[in-house]
């Protein structure tokens, strides 16, 4: 199923997606923070391993989700101005 464009969504759908995306971004950011702390700890104890790379591999996903969240909020704000 293809995702709807932001301009095609109703205000209720936008609000629902904003709420869902906010939670997803928060959980992802917390996970990346935990992975980063774990990577630093692992690197200091055992040296380089795959866990050192994981936080950096997940950062683009978090950034893309954050950008999409901001676009949704901007779309909802532009509709409320009208």
Calculate Rg over the CA atoms of the chain.
Answer: 17
The pTM of this model reads 0.82
Give me the count of residues in the chain: 82
* pLDDT value of position 34: 96
Read off the pLDDT of residues 10-53 as tens digits, 9 standing for 90 and up: 899 999 999 999 999 999 999 999 999 999 999 999 999 888 99
Q: How many CB atoms lie under 10 A from the CB of residue 25?
A: 18
In this structure, are residues 79 and 35 in contact, taking their beta carbons and an 8 Å threshold? Answer: no
* pLDDT value of position 82: 62
Domain that holds residue 58: 32-82
């Amino acid at each position: 199923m293809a995702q709807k464009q932001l301009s095609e969504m109703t205000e209720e759908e936008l609000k629902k997606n904003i709420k869902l995306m906010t939670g997803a971004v928060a959980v992802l950011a917390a996970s990346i923070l935990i992975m980063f702390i774990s990577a630093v700890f692992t690197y200091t104890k055992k040296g380089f391993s795959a866990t050192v790379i994981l936080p950096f591999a997940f950062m683009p996903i978090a950034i893309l989700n954050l950008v999409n969240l901001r676009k949704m909020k901007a779309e909802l704000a532009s509709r409320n101005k009208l």
